[in-house]
Chains A and B, each alone.
Chain A
Amino acid sequence: MEAAKVLDAKGLACPMPIVKTKKAINELESGQILEIHATDKGAKNDLAAWAKSTGNELLQSTEEDGVFKFWLKKA
């Protein structure tokens, strides 16, 4: 999956991962993909719910060694 941008939100606590995600996605064109790395466990549900409410598409998410990765396609 070709990400147009990678956002490092590791070590950040709620609400910052979503705040940063929102800012980063605003800078992308429609259809481009944002890859997000986060360590806050709450980010997982919140990012999915945020994506749903904004119409951006959460393509995939993974978890490895405490790092959550998300791929988000801009609406």
Chain B
Amino acid sequence: MTFKAMTSKEVTQKVFNKEKLFILDVRNEGDFQDWKIEGENFTYLNVPYFELLDGVEGIIDQIPSDREILVVCAKEGSSVFVADMLSDSGLEVSYLEGGMKAWSEYLEPVKVGDLKNGGEIYQFVRIGKGCLSYMAISNGEAAIIDATRMTDIYVDFAAKMDAQIKHVFDTHLHADHISGGRKTAEQTGASYWLPPKDAEEVTFDYKQLEEGKDVMIGNTKISIQPLYSPGHTIGSTSFVIDDTYLLTGDILFIDSIGRPDLAGKAEDWVADLHETLYNRYKELSDELIVLPAHFMIIDELNDNGSVSEKLGTLYARNHGLNIEDEAEFRRTVTENLPPQPNAYQEIRETNMGKINPDLDKQREMEIGPNRCAVR
């Protein structure tokens, strides 16, 4: 039998389509437990490759014959090694091209809706890490929100859509992933906007995001309204785009809410978070479509792979928006928090421009899920 490569794009389609897939993950147990490829109908076996150096006979009877088999490792090498042995044993298998490294960096663009006069808004789903970034396009001009460091993807996409990137925004200083905002702005000549309260220590020039200072793209003037919404960070700013979409950054997710502790200030910021979620957002239209900067679990994906929901629906269903007692809210978002994202302090310093790690180091810093939410 032969074995072949499966790309992150192909795996992403299987996630979106809820297909069956058997994943033999040959990374060590700690890495597998920390972070793996999630799919509603995916099943798993984790056996480190170094336990298979003498052959795969010991695990052959644990591999199903009724579904596709994908061997996964960190960077590809070990999965090829194991796939080769499985194939010699008569199985038809694939390995994940580029391993978890490629999986972490893969972005799938999904159209989430139309804007006035032919404009469109796209969500870039970073399926491996749960990060969501956005591009709004109108009459040949584009704005990007919460760009990842894989900036070529946005630049190429905009070129394909015949749009010039004019504005790049970050809703806040990110702690879970390295922002591609500054790099995208440098590559394209766009303006880079940050909330000033999150940017006090940054080492580069930026434009200050302020409520009331709306930004327009396209001849037909799609408005991008900043809305100050602190809590995850002190500067956290949401956007209302075209009076239809509410980009919440890391304040409000589909099935969870933001955590206030990643800059070490949970106690200080919990009141801001409460004010934003229970008062500021409540004043907005229930019909706004919430587009968050993350998803945490695969159940938050819609059938087309996008992540979005009406604000009114979230007020009815999201547990984090329905904690009556403020003291209980405080406990929920300050106690028993999930582990912090990998290397979050170094990631914050990178996003401030204080340190400039090389690409390998950046990849290593971003290993793992985003962990920006509290359920």
Query: Footprint of B on A, CB under 8 Å?
Result: 13-16, 18-19, 22, 41-42, 45-46, 49-50, 53
B49 touches A15 (CB 8 A): yes
B281 to chain A, nearest CB (A): 42
Task: Report yes or no: B28 in contact with A46, Cβ–Cβ below 8 A.
Answer: yes
A45 to B364, CA, bound (A): 13
Kindly list the 10 A-B residue pairs having the minimum CB-CB distance in the complex, ordered from nearest. A50-B50, A15-B78, A49-B28, A14-B77, A18-B50, A13-B77, A15-B81, A14-B78, A15-B49, A42-B74
Q: Is the CB of B53 within 8 A of A42?
A: no
Assess whether B53 is in contact with A22, with CB atoms less than 8 Å apart.
yes
Residues on the A chain within 8 Å of B360, using CB: 41
CB distance from B283 to the nearest CB of A (A): 49
Tell me if B28 and A45 are in contact (CB < 8 A): yes
Is B74 a contact of A49 with CB atoms below 8 Å?
A: no
Interfacial chain B residues near A45, Cβ < 8 Å: 28, 30-31
Q: Determine the distance from Cα of A15 to Cα of B48 in the docked complex, in whole angstroms.
A: 10
Q: Which residues of B contact A14 (CB under 8 A)?
A: 49, 73-75, 77-78
Name the CB-closest residue of B to A49.
B28
**CB<8 Å pairs between A and B, sample of 13:** A14-B49, A14-B77, A16-B77, A18-B49, A18-B50, A19-B53, A22-B50, A22-B53, A45-B30, A49-B28, A49-B30, A49-B48, A53-B50
Q: Is B211 an interface position by the 8 A CB rule?
A: no
- Across-interface contacts of A22 in B (CB, < 8 A): 50, 53
Q: Are A42 and B50 in contact (CB under 8 A)?
A: no
User: In the bound complex, how far is the Cα of B79 from the Cα of A13, in angstroms?
Assistant: 12
